[in-house]
Structure 1
C-alpha cells in the first residue's frame, strides 16, 4: 500500500496512508480531530505583519457640581487616575476667575465666573498629555478650549456647560451663538470635539439618523436636543454618544434628585471627517469621588479615541538648582568649604581666567560640601487624607444596605472633618511663621 512521501513532516509519530479516490492527506487531517497536530512544513511560512503603534486617548466629561470644598479636587484627581482618564472636561467647578495649577502631577485648567461662584468649566490633564498642550483659551464660565499637539492633526476640545431646558430662549440663543463663534475660531485643519454637559436629550428620530445614530436612551428629542442636532448638522458634526449600542445603564448620564427616570444629557460630538476615530463611548455609573459630601448626580462619560500623539515634546525650561548655603553657618562646614576652594584653585593653576577659575572652584566645592537645597513641600492633603477618601470609595463600591448607608454617612463626616482640620492646621502654621518673621 503506498505511503505518504517525506515531503510533509509529522509532529506526531503516526503512520498514514492514502488510497486511490480518497481526499488528500492535508484535507483528511483537517477534518479529523485525531490528526489536528500534523503540520505542513513544505509550505512557505509568513510572519504576522507588525501593527503601527498608536496611542488611544481616553477622553472624559463629568459635571462635578462643585470643587469648592476642601479636598474635593484632590479626591477627583485620585478617581480620574483610577479610571485612567487622560483628559477630563469638568463642569460646575464654581471657581472664581481663570486658573492653571498642578495637583499630583495633573494639570488643571479652570475657566470661571469673574465675581460669583457659579457655573465654571475646565480640564484636568494627566502628566503625559499635559506636555502636548499647545494652547488653552478660557472663553467664559460656560465655554473653554484646549488644544493638543498631534502627529498629523492637532485636536481642539471645546468644553461646554449649556443652559438647561427650562432657561429662557434668549440665554440659549446667546450660548449657541458663542459656541458657533468658538468653533469657527478653531483652526480648520484640527480635529474638533465638543464635549460636556449640554443638557440636551437626543431622540431616535430617523430623520436625524446621519447625525445622531440609532441608539439614544430617549425615543424623542426635547427642545435642547433639537438645538444640539441643528448645531451638529450645521457644523458637519456627529453626536457620537448616541452612535454606540449600549445597555441603558451605560447610556444614562444624569440621575434626577429623588430617584426619577435617568437621562442622557452629557454628550460628545466630533466632526464627520474624523468620526471613525472614536472607538467607544460609555458612561461610568459608579464614579465615587466625594463631591460636596456626596456623589455628583451626573455620571462620568468616557470616550476611547484613536489618536496619533506627536513625538515632539514641549521644551521645558530647566529650573536652576540652589545650593544649601544655610550649612555655612556651621563653622566646620565653612572651614571645609574654604579649604576645598583653595585646593581647587591650586589644582587649576591658572588654566583659564581668574574669574573662570574662581567660578569653577567655588561651584565644585559647593557641590561637594554644601549640596543642593531641597524645599519642603507643605502639602496638607497627606496620606491620612488619601486613606480617608479611599475608605469612603471602597464602602460605596459595596452593596448598598441600610447599615451600609449609615456607615457611608459616618465616613463622609470623618473625611470632611479630617480634610478641614488638616487645611486649618497648615493655614495656622503659615500665619505663625509670617507673624514671627514680621516681628
Structure 2
C-alpha cells in the first residue's frame, strides 16, 4: 500500500493581522504586495469589513475566504497559500468575529486555526461573555489529540506580566500590564488548556507591541494561542510588514509533516453553536 506521508519535515508559517478593512481593491493590492515580501502559508485576518461571506481564488496564488455582515462591520477570514488549497478540508463562518479553517497535514494529523476579533474594551460585558462562550464551544469541538490547534487574532485585551501559578499559560517574554480583557484571555486559556505563544519566545520590548493606539501608546493585544509548544519553532511580531494598519502582524512557525498529493473536498457553511 502506498504511503501517503511525506517524511521530510517542513516549516509552516501562520500569521494574523488586523487589517482595518479590506473593502477596497487598493487595500487588497497593498496586502498582496506586502505578503510577497515575507514567508507565509496562512494569514488570519481581523476587521475585514466586507458585507458578504465569500471564498475566492486570487491571481497572486492564494485562496481568500472571509465572513461578512449586512452592515460590513467586524469580519474575519483567511488567506491561504495556493499550495495548501488541496489540503483544506473545512472553512466555516461562526460569526463576524470568529471563523475556522482546517488543513489536513497527514492521514492522522490536522491543523485547526481559529481566527478571532474580540469585542473592544468599550463593548457591553454581555457581548464579551457571549464571544468567549461561543469560542469555548468551538475549541471543545475541534481540540483533540490528532490536531494542532491555534486560536489567534486581535483579542482587544492585554495579558501583561506573568503571575504566580501561570507558568503553564504564560512564558517569560512579557509586555505591559494586564487589563480586564487580559483577564478574560487568561481565564479562557486556563479553561481550555492553551498557551499564549507570544510570551514563550524571547524578543526585545520594542519588538513586542502589536497595536499603536490613537494616543501613540503601544500595547500587545494580538496573540497566538496554541495547545502545545511541541511543534513550535518561533512566535514573533513582524516589525517591518509593509501594510498600512495600526496593528502589527504576528507569525507562528511550526515544524510539520504534510501529506502528498491528496485532494480533500472543502466543507463550507455557517455554524450557530
**Is TM-score (shorter-chain normalized) higher than 0.5?**
yes
Tell me what 1:149 maps to: 104
SS at match of 2:167: helix
Residue 124 of structure 1: which of 66, 79, 95 is its match? 79
- 1:166 is displaced (CA, Å) by 2.5
2:66 is the counterpart of 1:110: yes
Give the one of 277, 282, 286 matched to 2:231: 277
Equivalents in 1 of 2:205, 2:12: separation in Å? 24
TM-score by length of 2: 0.89
Residue 71 of structure 1 deviates from its aligned partner by: 2.2
C-alpha deviation, 1:99, in angstroms: 0.3
TM-superposed CA distance for 1:144, in Å, is: 0.3
SS at match of 2:229: helix
Q: Mark the runs of 5 or more structure 1 residues left unpaired by the alignment.
A: 1-51, 290-294, 317-439
Partners in 2 of 1:303 and 1:117 — Cα distance? 29
Higher strand share: 2
Equivalent position of 2:241 in the other structure: 287
Q: Which of the pair is proportionally richer in helix?
A: 1
- 1:92 positional shift: 0.4
Contact 2:88 2:264 in 1 (8 A): no
Name the CA distance, whole Å, in 2 between partners of 1:242 and 1:166: 26
Q: Which residue of 1 aligns with 2:22?
A: 67
Who is 1:97 aligned against?
52
Match of 1:170 among 122, 126, 136: 126
Rounded to whole Å, the distance in 2 between the matches of 1:214 and 1:74 is 38
Match in the other structure for 2:245? 296
Gaps of 5+ in 2: 1-6, 266-273
Superposed displacement of residue 134, structure 1: 0.8
Alpha-carbon distance in structure 2 between the residues aligned to 1:83 and 1:249: 20
Which range moves more in the overlay, 298-307 or 206-215? 206-215
Question: Corresponding residue for 1:249?
Answer: 206
Look up the SS of the partner of 1:102 in the other structure. strand
Q: How far did residue 315 of structure 1 move?
A: 6.3
| Runs of at least 4 residues off by over 2 Å | none
Distance 2:210 2:264 in 1: 39
CA contact (8 A) 1:249 1:285 kept: no
SS in structure 2 at match of 1:184: helix
User: Which whole-Å CA distance do the structure 1 matches of 2:172 and 2:143 have between them?
Assistant: 31
Q: Which has the higher contact order (CA 8 A, sep 6+)?
A: 2
* Whole-angstrom distance in 1 between the partners of 2:175 and 2:46: 22
2:139 pairs with 1:209: no
Question: Which deviations, in whole Å up to 9, do the C-alpha atoms of 1:102-150 show, x marking residues without a partner?
Answer: 112210010122x101100000011111221111111110000000001
* Equivalence map 1:189-208=2 (5 Å): 189-204=146-161, 205-208=163-166
Check whether the contact 1:74–1:103 (CA below 8 A) recurs between aligned residues: no
1:18 alignment counterpart: none
TM-score, normalised with respect to structure 1: 0.56
Alignment RMSD, CA only? 1.5
CA distance in 1, matches of 2:160, 2:175: 7
**Equivalents in 1 of 2:233, 2:121: separation in Å?**
30
Helix, strand or coil at the partner of 1:176: helix
